[in-house]
């Protein structure tokens, strides 16, 4: 469990050898400063910076970059050292941002050597600062802890160094900047492809593996920390860095591989303590969580902005992680929209019934039958209705405006599993280390609020099979049956690609049944990328064989789980989750195969076998009502917008729209290529 | 200001400073039945229920009670059914929260009721009370002591209604009989 620190918060460190990762939206340089038990820095030799990157126990990168990896071995630090301050500074060269407030908040994570994330911290609230203390590792009663510092300095590195009592701070600061500038000019320019980010995580050809102990290089090759893909700032960071062409080599240059901290050698700490300026107590500490609005307290609004709600923030919900908070926020928006629409509909219904009653009354009144009194009464009744409906609409519009504003900040912040295919987060895609908690199946909207669509997020693992209805009745009549089938298959493939992409390599496998081979073209992206576990099963024999295999897997895993011995499974049983895509059901299925499929639909989800049926229910009409339970057990999705989803609160009929890949977009191809590479590596 | 009302007394309440009531909470509290004798587990538990009925021009539109905890529009929320009451006294065992700003425009009255679901009359219930609280500042607007309130199983407690652009509250405190709010409808209608 990663601890997400807020400013001033501390967290115990269970390990001595640590990797600190810094990611920022613009190139920054990093360093570490060592202090004694009073927090005093005994001189420039106690500062690890790009000009002097290696000190016993601490190792910092040599150049400015958007991503850094610092190696720290707390055990190798001299006894005199009681704290290590990790700082960031913006390079002084022209072209870069001149203050932290101009770019997205930098993010720091602390990991153990095995890659487990221990703590992370987002340095929010920075403005005109150009240098900032990010984290402080400190020794308290023999044990090491980390504290989120976030103390910034508008006057830059010089002020930051001076604050720790370094008399030669100006000289040291300029030396640091010079060293980083020199080194960055030697940096290898890498092609600005979407993959460069991932290449940096793999052991690159210039990786100085020789100097890196095996456990350290393993940490380097490890997949991205799970919090990173969810970082809403990542896509922006690419844009920011790409805008300054001169900085491109810098921006895209990967984090520099660093040799491990050396334990032996000359001890550079033995210099006399030359400067003893007392430590500045620091500015006011901001204890608020970066992603949360305080509950209970009213938003700090001026008297003029009383009726204006606070600006929405992504992740403004409860949860242990950003992912969970976003999930809860999206469901909160879903409920709010359902309820506010219910209020509107109820008011309109009431206005209509009252109008009817008023009109009846006007008709029955004998006085109204002559003259204009009846007309006046009717007009008045209509006016009453219009007034109430207008009032209700005004309230609905107010709520819609707020939800739309929230949607605008939430959508860009969504991690890939929750994001639309046109979300830039997919361009920074890399194979995740953990499965997500939920998946976006599509979008939902109501007729009153067609502009505002709510992501339909369902929890993973899927508890029900999915059914893409290729006979979805084409209500508008613009599509013929063949087009509809094609669309259904495309939607199914997009969904399968999404499921595959959001799971760690080797955790999720695709199986395809396409008895007539009719879907070969649509399955093309999956086939070409080579992400299918085996080629699509065709003909009745192939169908029977694949179903038999999956049935056996379900049965064996069930037995193993019941017996409490999951490790005793035979070696040929694939323990990865399986998604079985069945195209053109029930074509190619005999009664036996149908029975097997129903068994998989019922028993599979609990042991990791999931079903995605692409079918037209009318095709299975020959089975009569026998298959009704199967259809009911599946979650019906449509390839075209269709209002068949009911929300759990009020039961409105929501229009579902599948999450399709934009026409002409290569994103699925890119993502699947990445997945295929990860799978190959995994094997 | 807390108004301790006797049965049947009705007063109108509006905030003194002219500010509008934006959120109210109806709280209901009672003490669990005393355990008696050897077979203490056979003690008859007492289950009181709080309900709120939403009216639009005397037509019931929605109701919030233990089987429908949130009104469809989300403005009225019941915190959940309590079947046995609190062990001590003072706290609310059931509460209904009303966000008056979110109440749909056509709803003009909200009536709060208390029923004894298990059938004991208020004479048998100890330390039972219901109260209305202004959620924004925690001030008690009205409070009824239910125990010893006579041979009744229900009470129509108060109504919150629109007065111009704002809301105000009228305490009703009418005793009635009934198991759930449905039984009270005839008793509620005269108060609308």
Test B75 with A650 for CB contact under 8 angstroms.
no
Instruction: Tell me the residue range of the domain where A105 lies.
Output: 3-254
Distances (CA, A) of B178 to A419, B27, B45, B128, B185: 52, 19, 18, 17, 10
At residue A317 the predicted structure's pLDDT band, cuts being 50, 70 and 90, is confident
Give the pLDDT score at A595.
Answer: 92
Does residue A278 register a pLDDT over 80? no
Tell whether A587 is covered by a domain: yes
* Residue A326 to residue A334: CA distance in whole angstroms: 12
Nearest to B73 among A342, A354, A388 (CB): A342
HSE-CB at A474 with a 13 A cutoff on CA atoms is 15
Q: Domain holding A566: CATH number?
A: 3.40.50.300
Most confident of A52-61, A90-99, A434-443, B174-183: A434-443
Give the pLDDT score at A196.
Answer: 38
Q: Which of A186-190, A458-462, B131-135 has the lowest mean pLDDT?
A: A186-190
Does residue A261 register a pLDDT over 80? no
* Residue A436 to residue A416: CA distance in whole angstroms: 9
Those residues with Cβ within 8 angstroms of residue A563's Cβ, 6 or more apart along the chain or in another chain: none
SS (H, E, C) A19-41: EEEEEEEEEEEEEEEEECCCCCC
Test B75 with A343 for CB contact under 8 angstroms.
yes
Q: Does the model's pTM come out above 0.80?
A: no
* Residue B110 to residue B63: CA distance in whole angstroms: 9
Does residue B155 register a pLDDT over 50? yes
Q: Which of A331, A340, A346, A393 to mutate to test the interface with B (most CBs of B within 10 A)?
A: A346
Nearest CA in chain A to B69: A649
Tell whether A422 is covered by a domain: no
Nearest to B105 among A391, A649, A650 (CB): A391
Q: What is the mean pLDDT of residues A513-520?
A: 86
A398 and A473 within one domain:
no
Packing angle of the helix pair A667-682, A481-502 (nearest 10 deg): 50
Yes or no: say if A120 and A4 are a contact pair by the CB < 8 Å rule. yes
Q: Which of A168-172, A244-248, B82-86, B121-125 has the lowest mean pLDDT?
A: A244-248
Ramachandran region of residue B136, left (φ > 0), alpha (ψ -120 to 50) or beta? alpha
Q: Which of A308, A334, A338, A339 to mutate to test the interface with B (most CBs of B within 10 A)?
A: A339
**Sign (positive or negative) of CA dihedral B167, B173, B174, B177:** positive
Q: What is the mean pLDDT of residues A132-152?
A: 85
Give the pLDDT score at B38.
Answer: 65
Supply angle C-alpha B162, B165, B168, rounded to 5.
Answer: 40
Residues in chain A closer than 8 A to B56 (CB atoms): 350
* Residue A41 to residue A83: CA distance in whole angstroms: 10
The residue whose two tokens read 């694939």 is: A574
Q: Identify the CA nearest to A232 among candidates A153, A280, A290.
A: A290
On average, the pLDDT of chain A sits at 78
The last residue of one of the domains, among A397, A413, A429, is A413
Nearest CA in chain B to A338: B73
A448 touches B: beta carbon within 8 Å: no
Test B106 with A388 for CB contact under 8 angstroms.
yes
Q: Which residue has the higher pLDDT, A649 or A278?
A: A649
A55 and A125 within one domain:
yes
Element (H, E) at B176: strand B166-176
Q: What is the mean pLDDT of residues A670-683?
A: 87
Give the pLDDT score at A426.
Answer: 92
Nearest to A392 among B59, B74, B105 (CB): B105
A399 and A490 within one domain:
no
Q: Which of A98-112, A234-248, A290-304, B3-17 has the lowest mean pLDDT?
A: A234-248
Test A395 with B105 for CB contact under 8 angstroms.
yes
Q: What is the mean pLDDT of residues A485-504?
A: 91
User: Pairing mode, if any, of strands A466-469 and A609-615?
Assistant: parallel
Those residues with Cβ within 8 angstroms of residue A312's Cβ, 6 or more apart along the chain or in another chain: A402, A405, A406, A408, A409, A410
A340 touches B: beta carbon within 8 Å: yes
Supply angle C-alpha B140, B143, B147, rounded to 5.
Answer: 150
* Residue A537 to residue A514: CA distance in whole angstroms: 6
The total domain count for chain A is 3
Those residues with Cβ within 8 angstroms of residue A309's Cβ, 6 or more apart along the chain or in another chain: A299, A402
Size of interface A-B (CB pairs under 8 A): 48
A662 and A540 within one domain:
yes
At residue A481 the predicted structure's pLDDT band, cuts being 50, 70 and 90, is confident
Cα Rg for chain B, rounded, in angstroms? 16
Virtual torsion, Cα A558, A564, A567, A570, nearest 10 deg = -40
Residues of chain A with pLDDT > 70, as a percent, come to: 79
Yes or no: say if A100 and A129 are a contact pair by the CB < 8 Å rule. yes
A-contacting residues of B 128-187, CB under 8 Å? none
Q: Identify the CA nearest to A224 among candidates A199, A252, A192.
A: A199
Residue A563 burial by CB count (10 A; 0-12/13-18/19+): exposed, middle or buried? Answer: exposed
Q: What is the mean pLDDT of residues A361-369?
A: 76
* Residue A339 to residue A359: CA distance in whole angstroms: 30
Packing angle of the helix pair A373-413, A322-364 (nearest 10 deg): 170
Token pair recorded at residue B117: 């679901």
B23 touches A: beta carbon within 8 Å: no
Tell whether A306 is covered by a domain: no
A477 and A402 within one domain:
no
Does residue A193 register a pLDDT over 70? no
Does residue A300 register a pLDDT over 60? no
* Residue A128 to residue A272: CA distance in whole angstroms: 35
Test B72 with A395 for CB contact under 8 angstroms.
no
At residue A580 the predicted structure's pLDDT band, cuts being 50, 70 and 90, is very high
Test A343 with B102 for CB contact under 8 angstroms.
yes
Give the pLDDT score at A83.
Answer: 87
Does residue A72 register a pLDDT over 70? yes
Test B73 with A340 for CB contact under 8 angstroms.
yes
Q: What is the mean pLDDT of residues A480-497?
A: 88
HSE-CB at A163 with a 13 A cutoff on CA atoms is 20
Q: Identify the CA nearest to A618 among candidates A472, A475, A490, A516.
A: A472
Q: Which residue has the higher pLDDT, A342 or A540?
A: A342
In DSSP terms, B56 is beta-bridged to B59
A-contacting residues of B 65-104, CB under 8 Å? 70, 72-75, 102, 104
Give the pLDDT score at B55.
Answer: 94
Test A350 with B59 for CB contact under 8 angstroms.
yes
Give the pLDDT score at A297.
Answer: 42
Distances (CA, A) of A404 to A337, A398, B186: 10, 10, 43
Test B61 with A339 for CB contact under 8 angstroms.
no
Most confident of A115-119, B79-83, B108-112: B108-112
Q: Give the start-end residues of each E strand in B19-102.
A: 23-31, 48-56, 59-64, 76-78, 94-99
Nearest to A388 among B62, B75, B105 (CB): B105
Nearest to A346 among B57, B70, B72 (CB): B72
At residue A210 the predicted structure's pLDDT band, cuts being 50, 70 and 90, is very low
Ramachandran region of residue A442, left (φ > 0), alpha (ψ -120 to 50) or beta? left
Give the pLDDT score at A309.
Answer: 62
The last residue of one of the domains, among A231, A254, A277, is A254
Residues in chain A closer than 8 A to B104 (CB atoms): 343-344, 346-347, 392, 395
Q: What is the mean pLDDT of residues A216-243?
A: 38
Packing angle of the helix pair A539-562, A591-603 (nearest 10 deg): 30
Distances (CA, A) of A482 to A487, A493, A518, A612: 9, 17, 11, 19
Does residue A202 register a pLDDT over 60? no
Q: Domain holding A55: CATH number?
A: 2.60.60.30
Quick check: helix, strand or coil at residue A545? helix
A597 and A658 within one domain:
yes
A631 and A554 within one domain:
yes
At residue A234 the predicted structure's pLDDT band, cuts being 50, 70 and 90, is very low
B-contacting residues of A 465-524, CB under 8 Å? none
Token pair recorded at residue A610: 């999931």
Q: Which of B75, B105, B138 to mutate to test the interface with A (most CBs of A within 10 A)?
A: B105
Residues in chain B closer than 8 A to A340 (CB atoms): 73-74, 102
Q: Which residue has the higher pLDDT, A408 or A76?
A: A408
A389 touches B: beta carbon within 8 Å: no
A187 and A96 within one domain:
yes
Q: Which of A251-260, A418-427, A511-520, A634-643 has the lowest mean pLDDT?
A: A251-260
Tell whether A111 is covered by a domain: yes
Yes or no: say if A252 and A189 are a contact pair by the CB < 8 Å rule. yes
* Residue A319 to residue A317: CA distance in whole angstroms: 7
Give the pLDDT score at B139.
Answer: 81
Does residue A26 register a pLDDT over 90? no
* Residue B133 to residue B142: CA distance in whole angstroms: 7
User: Pairing mode, if any, of strands A17-35 and B23-31?
Assistant: unpaired
The last residue of one of the domains, among A396, A413, A430, is A413
At residue A46 the predicted structure's pLDDT band, cuts being 50, 70 and 90, is confident
Nearest CA in chain A to B61: A346
At residue B12 the predicted structure's pLDDT band, cuts being 50, 70 and 90, is low
Element (H, E) at A112: strand A107-112
Query: Mind listing the pLDDT tens digit for each residue in A443-470?
Result: 999 999 888 999 999 999 999 999 999 8
Tell whether A453 is covered by a domain: no
Residues of chain A with pLDDT > 90, as a percent, come to: 29
Residues in chain B closer than 8 A to A650 (CB atoms): 72
The residue whose two tokens read 């129509």 is: B156
Give the pLDDT score at A231.
Answer: 41
Most confident of A113-122, A400-409, B8-17, B160-169: A400-409
Residues in chain A closer than 8 A to B102 (CB atoms): 340, 343
A21 and A139 within one domain:
yes
Element (H, E) at A138: strand A131-140
Test B56 with A650 for CB contact under 8 angstroms.
no
How many distinct helices (H) and strands (E) make up chain A? 14, 21
Test A388 with B104 for CB contact under 8 angstroms.
no
Quickly list DSSP for A334-350.
Answer: HHHHHHHHHHHHHHHHH
A158 and A60 within one domain:
yes
Quick check: helix, strand or coil at residue A263? coil
Nearest to B73 among A339, A351, A354 (CB): A339
Burial A411-433, CB ≥16 within 10 A → b, else e = bbbbbbbbbbbebebbebbbbbb
A610 and A480 within one domain:
yes
Give the pLDDT score at B111.
Answer: 92
A107 and A8 within one domain:
yes
Yes or no: say if A655 and A641 are a contact pair by the CB < 8 Å rule. yes
Give the pLDDT score at A276.
Answer: 38
Q: Which residue has the higher pLDDT, A248 or A546?
A: A546
Test A388 with B73 for CB contact under 8 angstroms.
no
Q: What is the mean pLDDT of residues A62-79?
A: 85
Does residue B48 register a pLDDT over 80? yes
Domains of chain B: 4-33+44-191 (2.60.60.30)
Residues in chain B closer than 8 A to A386 (CB atoms): none
């Amino acid at each position: 469990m990663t601890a997400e620190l807020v400013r001033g918060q501390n967290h115990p460190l269970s390990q001595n050898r640590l990797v600190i990762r810094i990611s920022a939206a613009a190139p920054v340089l990093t360093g570490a400063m060592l202090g004694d038990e009073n927090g005093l820095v005994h001189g420039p030799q106690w500062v690890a910076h790009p000009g002097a990157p290696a000190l016993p126990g601490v190792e910092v990168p040599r150049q400015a970059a958007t991503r850094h990896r610092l190696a720290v071995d707390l055990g190798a630090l001299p006894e005199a050292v009681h704290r290590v301050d990790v700082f960031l500074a913006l390079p002084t060269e022209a072209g870069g941002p001149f203050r932290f407030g101009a770019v997205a908040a930098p993010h720091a994570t602390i990991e153990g050597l095995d890659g487990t994330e221990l703590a992370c911290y987002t340095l929010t609230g920075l403005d005109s600062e150009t240098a900032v203390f990010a984290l402080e590792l400190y020794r308290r009663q023999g044990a090491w802890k980390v504290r989120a510092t976030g103390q910034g300095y508008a006057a830059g590195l010089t002020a930051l160094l001076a604050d720790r009592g370094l008399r030669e701070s100006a000289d040291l600061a300029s030396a640091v900047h010079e060293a980083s500038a020199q080194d960055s000019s030697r940096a290898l320019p890498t092609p600005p492809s979407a993959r460069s980010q991932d290449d940096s995580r793999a052991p690159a050809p210039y990786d100085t593996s020789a100097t890196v102990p095996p456990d350290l290089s393993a940490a380097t090759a490890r997949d991205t920390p799970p919090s990173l893909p969810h970082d809403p700032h990542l896509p922006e960071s690419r844009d920011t860095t790409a805008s300054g062409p001169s900085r491109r080599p810098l921006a895209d240059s990967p984090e520099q591989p660093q040799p491990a901290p050396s334990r032996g050698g000359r001890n550079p700490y033995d210099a006399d303590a030359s400067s003893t300026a007392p430590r500045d107590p620091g500015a006011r500490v901001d204890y608020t969580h970066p992603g949360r609005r305080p509950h209970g307290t009213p938003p700090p609004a001026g008297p003029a902005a009383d009726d204006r709600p606070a600006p929405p923030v992504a992740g403004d919900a409860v949860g242990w992680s950003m992912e969970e908070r976003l999930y809860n926020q999206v469901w909160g928006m879903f409920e709010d929209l359902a309820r506010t629409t219910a209020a509107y509909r109820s008011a309109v219904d009431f206005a209509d019934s009252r109008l009817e009653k008023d009109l009846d009354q006007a008709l029955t009144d004998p006085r109204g039958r002559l003259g204009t009194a009846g007309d006046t009464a009717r007009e008045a009744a209509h006016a009453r209705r219009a007034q109430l409906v207008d009032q209700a609409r005004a309230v609905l519009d107010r709520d819609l405006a707020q939800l739309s504003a929230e949607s605008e900040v939430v959508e860009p912040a969504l991690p890939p599993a929750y994001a639309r295919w046109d979300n830039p987060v997919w361009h920074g895609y890399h194979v995740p280390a953990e499965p997500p908690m939920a998946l976006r199946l599509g979008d939902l909207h109501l007729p009153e609020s067609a502009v505002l669509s709510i992501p339909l997020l369902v929890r993973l693992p899927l508890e029900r099979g999915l059914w893409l209805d290729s006979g979805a009745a084409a209500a508008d009549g613009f599509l013929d049956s063949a087009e509809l089938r094609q669309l259904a298959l495309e939607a199914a493939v997009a969904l399968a690609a999404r499921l595959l992409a959001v799971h760690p390599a080797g955790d999720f496998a695709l199986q395809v049944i396409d008895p007539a081979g009719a879907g070969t073209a649509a399955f093309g992206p999956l086939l070409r990328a080579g992400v299918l576990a085996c080629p699509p099963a065709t003909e009745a024999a192939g169908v029977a064989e694949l179903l038999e295999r999956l049935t056996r897997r379900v049965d064996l895993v069930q037995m193993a789980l019941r017996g409490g011995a999951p490790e005793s499974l035979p070696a040929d049983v694939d323990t990865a989750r399986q998604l079985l895509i069945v195209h053109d059901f029930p074509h190619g299925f005999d009664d036996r195969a149908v029975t097997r499929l129903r068994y998989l639909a019922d028993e599979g989800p609990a042991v990791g076998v999931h079903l995605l049926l692409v079918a037209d229910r009318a095709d299975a009409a020959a089975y009569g009502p026998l298959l009704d339970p199967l259809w009911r057990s599946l979650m019906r999705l449509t390839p075209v917008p269709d209002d068949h989803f009911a929300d759990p609160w009020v039961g409105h009929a929501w229009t579902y729209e599948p999450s399709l890949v934009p026409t002409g977009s290569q994103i699925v191809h890119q993502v699947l290529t990445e997945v295929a590479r990860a799978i190959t590596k995994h094997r | 200001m807390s108004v301790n009302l006797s049965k049947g007394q009705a007063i109108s309440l509006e905030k003194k400073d002219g500010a509008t009531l934006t959120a109210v909470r109806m709280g209901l509290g009672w003490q669990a039945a005393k355990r008696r004798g050897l077979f203490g587990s056979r003690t008859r538990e007492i289950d009181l229920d709080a309900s709120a009925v939403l009216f639009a021009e005397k037509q019931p539109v929605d109701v919030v009670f233990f089987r429908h905890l949130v009104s469809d529009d989300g403005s009225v929320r019941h915190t959940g059914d309590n079947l046995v009451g609190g062990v001590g006294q003072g706290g609310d065992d059931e509460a209904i929260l009303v966000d008056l700003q979110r109440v749909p425009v056509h709803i003009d009255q909200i009536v709060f009721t208390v029923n004894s679901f298990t059938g004991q009359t208020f004479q048998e219930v100890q330390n039972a009370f219901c109260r209305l609280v202004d959620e924004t500042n925690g001030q008690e607007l009205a409070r009824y002591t239910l125990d010893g309130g006579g041979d009744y199983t229900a009470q129509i407690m108060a109504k919150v209604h629109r007065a111009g652009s704002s809301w105000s509250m009228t305490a009703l405190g009418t005793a009635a009989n009934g198991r759930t709010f449905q039984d009270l409808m005839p008793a509620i209608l005269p108060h609308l």
